Structure 1
Amino acid sequence: MPIAIKMPALSPTMEEGTLAKWLVKVGDSVSSGDIMAEIETDKATMEFEAVDEGVIAHIQVEEGTEGVKVGTIIATLAEDGEDVSDVEPAGDGASPEPQKSESAEPVEALSSSSSAASEEKSSPSTSSGQSEGGTAPKTSGDRIIASPLAKRIAEQKGLDLSAIKGSGPNGRIVKADVEDAKPGAAAPAPAASAPASTPTPAAAPAEAQDFGIPHEVEKLSGMRKTIARRLTESKQQVPHIYLTVDIRLDALLKLRSELNAALESQGVKLSVNDLMIKALGKSLEAVPACNVQFAGDTMLKFSRADVSVAVSIPNGLITPIVTDAGSKAVSKISTEMKDLATRAKDGKLAPEEYQGGTASLSNMGMFGIKQFEAVINPPQGMIMAIGAGDKRPYVVDDSLQIASVMSATGSFDHRAIDGADGAQLMKAFKEMIEAPLGLVA
């Protein structure tokens, strides 16, 4: 009996994904544990393993197709002993063959398949509009319900499918129907068996205007769509309060230089960002009122500080997590961050490595940005935005001197964190950086 291979849920929150690449083709044998495909979620590219053994009989969703819902049948597996050529695609009815026209986007082909399957499922087994001679039932879009194999045979024999009565479920035309039929009227032109209306690219949103300027249209990736949705929700639903402090960096930079000299033999090189992660973790432990999450009529208060760190990747942004950052050694944080950042850029993070976190840190100092206000990453309660450290006039011991100074801005969810508590966190963070020995204690 054929086995339906469905789009898996590769994370607890995954609702749809992009079938990025098939690693098998029709006719290939697979065993449990074999890698069958690469699937892009909104955060990473993950490998999809086979669970059953058999031979790939049909691939129903082509690689590159976006927006494939979890649970959608993407392929059919023939069990050992079954003839692949006799196996029908799994599902409540055959999905139409994928559109091969370059003008039709993969997501539109998937939409057509889903529509046809649902229409076929809802069609009655007999229709009052069907003539006694028995024309094949059609969907509301006047689509003939026939298996892909039946369509191919009909085309080869010059048969008009609209004149053939289907003997399959819900009047579906199957292989036996077309093999027994005799050529009659000339087969319709190839376009006649296609949907009545050819899919056209979706129109640009009404607010998007090119004003005649030469431009390119680029489809949004799943990750970019998720970023757009979540950050829009954050700014609309989360009341942000922003608190900024200037922090002198000279002591931290001196300590970093000394630590790197001591750790050189171990192959560890600390970045300023590693020390910032540690400082934020310890600050959240010192001010637990900011290590919280708003949850409607309740509030979650966390017993440890897991810091999500913003990492820029080719398709957008991802936030791998340094767990228990306040208690972890800075050398350990450094090693973990290098590994997490590398795998994030390769799309190889596991869901638990980027989902969660009690607060976030975003550092744009390496781009020369002096100060910015980051958008909170829901459902977290705060994010720390780090600007560039540069030489500035600064009052040291009641005299004006030149010092290395950076600006840090905390964005807080005012539903859960009061301004005074946010100020306490910023004060603690500033003190950690300016007296950094506490970071290695």
Structure 2
Amino acid sequence: MPAMSPTMTEGNISAWKVKEGESFSTGDVILEIETDKASMDVEAQDDGVVAKIFAEDGSKAVKVGTRIAVLADPGDDISNLEIPPDDSQPVQSEADNVKGGEDSKYESSGVEKEIKGTPQNKRPAEDKPTTSPSGPGQNPKYPLYPSVITLVHENHISDEEVAKIPATGPNGRLLKGDVLAYLGTIDSDYTAKLAKRIGDLEHLDLSGIKILQPAAQPTAATATTIPPAPEPLKTSSVSLTISLAEVLKVQQRIQDTLGVTVPLSTFLARAVDLANDDLPRPKGQKSSADDLFNAVLGLDTVPTTSRGAYLPQIDALPARSSTKSPPRPSAKKPDIIDILSGKAVPERSARRPSSSGNKLSTADGALNVFSLAVPVGEEKRARTFLERVKTVLQVEPGKLIF
């Protein structure tokens, strides 16, 4: 059972993630351990195979240091392996957690690695440091950090040597860097240099900061001249008279035939959309990136037309004034005595004038002016658009609906 913290003396096995006979790789979770404080996963330090599990799922109050399983190396035939006798040494107090030396045959996960009687499965111990530690060692008042315990067990450092390794941690505690320096993995002064650098970075150095002086307000003599505003874009107006008589006829025909009223705006919107397709490219307009890319690849030539975005303004022509005959002077009404004596003839009622002379024809009422305001140089393109609108609305407006 591994010690997952300096104060841990026992734990419960929640579940084995790898069963007997199954292989695992470095970093895989082997089992889940539960204590009175938290649940933790135990990861594999090397590749291997689970040879035998002694503490099954749900085991309670398993002492730290108690053998819970035996692991074999990858590729071993576990059916022929001899399981060594249990010589584990469970801890009795929190102080036992910080001791090493004799527990070197256990991984940091607390699982026994050696298998007695099978030399091919034993891992040779690493060479111990040749130099003897000197200087103030670990403060016995504090337990070792878990990382230090793991490093001590992996390198088979005895308790006597651990007590003599110079400790540079807070309150005289032994750091992982102290052990690495003792093993010769890093420079002996690396820990001191790192501590000094961290101490220097704790304080922000503001000595190189300069206060920015406020900018002087420009006077009339030093004030820069304001650049002139860009000239407004010069535009030109293009207009064309278009009759909507045919559109009104098609609209009435649809109403009489299908009983559906198609708004006039529908005819106009579809005619405008159709007329905007493939208009001549205006002078000076640059080709788009897609056009140039296709031209370089030879996929297509640079087109000479493009889609427009024109939306004309529509104004109706003013109605023509009807000609009316001047009012006739009112005749004197004859006396009733003259009428009875035959001297006067009663005036006949005047015939009502025909209303056809005052009514505008449908064609006259359907005339409208379509106009566009375009930049100078686009007059030809705009006129082509209006001509297309006129052709669609006056010649074949029915195609806009059917």
Q: TM-score, normalised by structure 2?
A: 0.25
Higher strand residue share:
1
Q: Which has the larger radius of gyration?
A: 2
